[in-house]
Amino acid sequence: MYRILIAEDSKPILRNIKELLSKSELPVQVVHTASNGEDALKGFASHFIDILITDIRMPKMDGLALIEEAKKANPKLKVVLISGYNDFEYTRKAINLQVADYLLKPVERSALIEVMERVIAQICEECRDEFAGLDVILEPAASRRLTLQPEFFRRKKLVILLHLQYFHPEAPGWRPESIQNVLSRSFSQHPFWVFAINKPRQMLVLTEPSFIESTVSTMERLAEIRARLYEEGLSTSITGRFMPIMPKDIADCCHALSDFISSRISILEPCLADMAYPGSQSIEVLEDMERLGARYCDMIIKLQKEPFLRQLGEQLGKWGRSNLRIVQLQRFVALLANAFALHQSVRDERIDWEFQAEMQQLFERTSYVDFCSGLLTLLENRFTLVQSLNKKSGYELFLLIDGYLQSNLYSQVSLNDLVAAFHVSPSYISRVVRKHAQRTLMQHYLDLKITEARKVMKSNPDLKIKELSEALCFYDQHYFSKVFKEYAGCNPSEYKRMLHGNGS
């Protein structure tokens, strides 16, 4: 409901406006009336007013002076002036004070309804603009359903973020409406607004500044919320910003809280953290995850399946006992997934994507033991896949590379060209060629070119050596002769004489 204050020194006009509004079916409520500006100003001290309807000329304090003072209490106050005068000076001052609309005496029902509908529409539009920033953090379905009453925008809010604990049994009560009901029952004297946001396992909770009482610490309040949610089967980590902020700043605050709690939540125990005091939740760096991950990635590269799985099982058990932070575990799992993706002999983006998705889904398991079992099984299967690809695809890849090179003897193929053509790493190409050709990639390619040159010289003995050199993409004839001698045992001129001497 939009709260209205009417200031009018004519009692019949005041009663008429109040009665018309009460019968209008508009979402408005007259919370205060006054017969002069001074009495009206007292109403602003005891009520939050959305719309002021005031006469221009009143005793003690006129309408324009009242507007100036009232806007100090609520800068977004909407004002409707009532006037029976065509006074240009008053009108000019009213414009400077950003009056929303005018009504002429006698006030008629149709004019009043029309003006109030316009003013309410202005307030709604301003509220939407002010809260538009929430669209970037709300879960899309929640954003589409979002409707907030004007009461929401009247005061600053405290921002609290809930994070559902990982490796916890299914939580059917993890819905905004369920959580709002729990909080409203537990803290009935305080209003709550709960939203699903676009970060997994997180909920945004807003409440009034009065929620933090002078006799209760912020951490005690967080502990109370956690206890109430736990009674409903919800194990949650909770953080908050307990300096009240305006709705337009909520989105940025929510981002900061999300990063803050995500870096602190651990495998087994939920945490409480006041963002203003980061030390309220100590962070122990258990291991250098990058260094540890590199050791396991090295075993993946070397396909040391058995020691990898044995040592990883032991490491996961150790982390469970030491209550490792989730962000560290997620980083470690990502390092392993990337190592397998890089190792695979012939890249298949669909298989890689499915593997990455399966690794992430492990964090939705209902217990840490189940997570560990699933991770070890998934990695064992991945090892088996990569080993089978390595056994059967190395020679197949060499044949493909060899065919590609032979098809491009009259152009210049680089290692990067082969990487782009076959979607494998440069180092893997080099290893495959050396293994199956018994020489480097460049040596193999030059040998193919010289073999082609000898065939051409036999079939076309009149072709000049310089022309043949250029056709095979050697940068000059001298270099061609040098390479030719290295691979054929003689230079091109000697080879041609040998061919003629044999009568070919």
Do 76 and 155 belong to one domain?
no
Question: For residue 157, how many C-alpha atoms fall within 13 Å in the half-sphere facing its CB?
Answer: 24
Per the CB < 8 A criterion, the answer to whether 325 and 265 are in contact is yes
Instruction: Indicate the residue among 77, 102, 129 that finishes a domain.
Output: 129
Do 104 and 175 belong together in one domain? no
Integer Cα distance of 60 and 58 in angstroms: 7
Is there a cis peptide before residue 106, judged by omega within 30 degrees of 0?
Answer: yes
**Burial group, residue 500, by CB count within 10 angstroms (0-12, 13-18, 19+):** exposed
Give 327's strand partners: none
Joined tokens for residue 218: 């912020």
Nearest in space to 195 (alpha carbons), one of 182, 204, 186: 204
Order the strands of the 202-207 sheet from edge to edge. Answer: 192-196, 202-207, 157-164, 236-245, 272-274
> Is residue 57 domain-shared with residue 186, that is, in the same domain?
no
Mean pLDDT over 319-339 rounds to: 89
Per-residue model confidence as pLDDT tens digits over 271-300: 998 887 765 444 444 457 888 889 999 898
Residue 469, phi-psi category: left (phi > 0), alpha (psi -120 to 50), beta (remainder): alpha
Question: Token digits for 138?
Answer: 């709300």
> Averaging pLDDT over each range in 114-128, 183-197, 414-428, which range is the top one?
183-197
Whether residue 141 sits in one domain with residue 276: yes
- Residue 414 neighbours by CB distance under 10 Å: 11
Same domain, 207 and 123: no
Can you give the pLDDT at residue 84? 73
Domain match, 40 and 125 both: yes
For residues 124 and 157, membership in a common domain is answered with: no
Q: What is the CATH number of the domain that holds 481?
A: 1.10.10.60
CA distance 144 to 135: 9
Number of structural domains in the chain: 4
The per-residue pLDDT for 132 is 67
- Domain boundary, last residue among 389, 422, 457: 389
Range of the domain at 457: 395-501
Average pLDDT over residues 143-164: 77
In sequence order, the β-bridge partners of residue 237 are: 163
Same-domain status, 205 and 83: no
Same domain, residue pair 10 and 98: yes
Q: Which of 292, 294, 266, 296 minimizes the C-alpha distance to 281?
A: 266
Q: pLDDT (tens digit, 9 = 90+) per residue, 43-93?
A: 998 888 999 999 888 888 888 889 888 988 888 899 998 877 665 556 656
Check residue 288 and give left, alpha or beta (phi > 0: left; psi -120 to 50: alpha): beta
Structure tokens at 26: 């508009």
Give the pLDDT confidence of 107-153 residue by residue, as tens digits: 899 999 999 999 998 888 877 776 666 777 887 766 555 666 667 77
Of the residues 129, 150, 183, the one at which a domain ends? 129
Residue with token string 């005031």:
54
Q: Kindly report the CATH number assigned to the domain that includes residue 177.
A: 3.30.70
pLDDT score at 504: 46
C-alpha distances in angstroms, 248 versus 128, 134, 340?
A: 10, 8, 44
- State whether residue 41 is helix, strand or coil: helix
User: The pTM is what?
Assistant: 0.63
* β-bridge partners, 197: 138
Question: Phi, psi (5° rounding) for residue 162?
Answer: -105, 140
